[in-house]
A and B are shown apart, each in its own frame.
Chain A
Amino acid sequence: MGILERFRESKFSKMIKKVFGKSHAKIGIYGPPNVGKTTLANRILRDWTGDIMGSVSEVPHETRRAKWKNNIRINNGGSSLTMDLVDTPGIATKIDFKEFMNMYGMDKDASRMRAKEATEGVIEAIRWLDDIDGVVLVMDATQDPFTQVNVTIIGNLEARNLPILIAANKIDAENASPATLKSAFPQHPVIPISALTGYNTENLYTMMVKEFGKKRHKKRR
């Protein structure tokens, strides 16, 4: 290893980065399929860069490859956060192509193709977990929160001592129950939002700056 590389790897270099705030956080938007991850990613980008992340659909597994945008700066009063934002494919433990046919009227070939790509997307989302510094875990506030997917994502981040914000999404929907999410995950901040209408997203941004701006000791798996 040359001197330069050794320097880059050194504690001293990391300290310099910290002091000058050059290192920034890589933040993943995670969650089960169809909870509104891409809708939220698009809203964050629209609010802070004018960009968009990807397509949104009522059909689950719309996002089947991770997408990201770098150097997004979020301001909150005096402080700010610069992050690379990753929109991940929804994580599931099962994928049934017949659901795309029966519930969404897709034809057989398209359904099979979507299911196949969805399995690859899940793997990609899980692999990205090794690479991120914090997660916005999006949950659908109209649904049961104790899913294995939520538990597994939270467990992996807790084991590495990385920050998690839970976005209780779709609270504009009539049957939304953000209180259920709050009592289900008392150890992490739960922020009720509507990614669709933008309701309460300022509050999410405030929490993102606060939680993801902190320096933590990251553990590798």
Chain B
Amino acid sequence: MAKKDGGIAFNLISHQKLEHLSSSDKLKYILNEVKEGRILVLEHGLTPTEQAKLIEHTMKEINHDTFIGIEIGGYENEKVGFFQRVFGVAKKPRMTVIGPAHLLKMVHKDNDMIETTIIPGKGAS
């Protein structure tokens, strides 16, 4: 966990920053940032396959004294059409927030709003 002098880093990541990366590089980038104690808001979220991979990678990285996992929440995009579904085109998710579970807590999520809190006393100095 990164020692922070000035509070908790909260970074807004444009889709341009991630779109040229392969899925695996994208996940590596995200997980590294989160393990460093940063909270990320992605302009474009992850595909369902990427979400599943991210959970898998997170499980491998859990170290019970320093990293207990992630908190993540995002919006799904509008419905994809029938033909896209038949051909396996995944829904493209929109805005997504990801952070280390010891800092970020999902309070409530519905179709219109994601409510989170940042857990005080664990990095905000």
Contacts and interface: CB of A to CB of B under 8 A. Distances in A.
A173 interface: no
Contacts of B93: 155
A131 B62 CA distance: 26
B90 A94 contact: no
Contacts of A97: 64
B76 A95 contact: no
Nearest to B104: A94
A144 interface: yes
A107 interface: no
A126 B52 contact: yes
Contacts of A219: 88
B27 interface: no
Contact of A94 (B68, B74, B79): B68
B124 interface: no
A129 interface: yes
A217 B86 contact: yes
A14 to B, nearest CB: 18
B56 A93 contact: no
Nearest to A96: B68
Interface string B77-109: 001000001101111010000000100001011
13 contacts: A93-B55, A94-B58, A94-B69, A94-B101, A97-B64, A119-B59, A146-B73, A148-B72, A151-B74, A152-B51, A155-B90, A158-B48, A161-B85
